[in-house]
Structure formats: structure tokens, C-alpha cells
Amino acid sequence: MAVSNCIFCKIAVGEIPTEAVHASEDFLAFRDIVPQAPVHVVVIPRIHRDTIMDVEDPQLFAGLLAFVQETAVKLGVDAEGFRSVINCRANGGQTISHLHVHLLGGRFLNWPPG
Ligand code: 5GP
Ligand code: ZN
């Protein structure tokens, strides 16, 4: 169910028009508004969960990561590689409280992150 003040729920139901790079019944991938790499996509479950810690059904993770895999292929970053990041709560730097995976690629990404 959509959470009324959640920006990603609004994107998921089309209330905020956003061009999808990959979409399914349960998941959606769209370009980050402040890209940190040539390819920077946000992947969300359409269902609202605040954080990775608020998921009860592990099947959601299976579906989400399979969808990330498909998205990477669709964007052509699978062969050269990419990074998937899930920020969680304050210390993780999470700014939008709707579970999402950042898919970053198109350049070499340094490690460790800041
Ligand atoms: P977080 O910091 O929570 O891990 O990531 C949230 C991401 O969502 C940020 O990278 C931010 O740039 C992106 N973002 C925030 N608002 C919007 C929006 O309205 N549209 C899109 N496409 N991305 C957004
Ligand atoms: Zn939401």
C-alpha cells in the first residue's frame, strides 16, 4: 500500500511522473535525480518498506536482487561491473525512507566509500 507522504510511493503509482528504465508488477527502476555516476539508477519495490530492516518476507529480497540483475543487463553495465548499495537509516545516509537499491556504474567506483 502506498504511504501518502512518500516520494518513492508516489513514483511507484505514477503520481509523480518518472521515466522507468525497467519495470515489473512488483519493482521499478528509474534514474536518480542527482546521479553520482554515468549510470545511477534507483531500484524500489512498489510496496512500501521504510528500510532494509523493515522487510519481514525474505522473498522480497530475492525479487529485488533479481530485478537489480535484470536492470544491470538492460543498462549494459553487467559485463564491466557495477555497484549495488542499500543505505539504511541515519548512519547509512538514507534520506528517503522507502527501501531502495542504488545501482551505480559506467565508471570505476572507488572503495571504500566515504
Ligand atoms: P538515499 O540517500 O536515501 O540512499 O537515496 C535517495 C536517492 O534518491 C538520492 O540519491 C536522491 O538523489 C534520490 N532522489 C531523491 N528524490 C528523488 C526524486 O524525486 N526523483 C528521483 N529520480 N530521485 C530522487
Ligand atoms: Zn514509500
Residues with CB under 6 A from ligand 1: 7, 18, 30-34, 42, 87, 93-96
CA–CA gap between residue 71 and residue 65 (Å, rounded): 10
For 83-92, the pLDDT digits (tens) are 999 999 999 9
State how far the alpha carbon of 6 is from the alpha carbons of 3, 10, 20, 33, 51, in Å. 6, 6, 18, 16, 13
Between residues 3 and 26, which one has the greater pLDDT?
26
Pocket perturbation via mutation, ligand 1, pick of 8, 32, 54, 102 by most ligand atoms within 8 A of CB: 32
Q: Which of 89, 114, 100, 83 is nearest to 43 (CA)?
A: 100
Does residue 24 have a pLDDT over 90?
yes
Instruction: Compute the average pLDDT of residues 26-31.
Output: 98
Q: Give me the mean pLDDT over the 25-45 stretch.
A: 98
pLDDT at 114: 80
pLDDT of residue 4: 87
**33 CA to centre of ligand 1 in angstroms:** 6
Residue 35 clears pLDDT 80, i.e. is over it? yes
Q: In angstroms, rounded to a whole number, what is the distance separating the alpha carbons of residues 71 and 91?
A: 27
Nearest partner of 82 among 70, 100, 97, judged by Cα: 70
Arithmetic mean of pLDDT over the chain: 97
Please report which ligand is nearest the Cα atom of 42. 1
pLDDT higher than 80, residue 64: yes
The full 3-state SS of 31-76, as one line of letters, equals: ECCCCCCCEEEEEEECCCCCCHHHCCCCHHHHHHHHHHHHHHHHHC
Residue 48 CA to ligand 1 centre (angstroms): 15
pLDDT tens profile 91-101 = 999 999 999 99
Rounding to the nearest 10 degrees, give the CA dihedral for residues 26, 87, 97, 106: -60
SS3 103: strand
Q: With 70 as the cut, is the pLDDT of residue 1 above it?
A: no
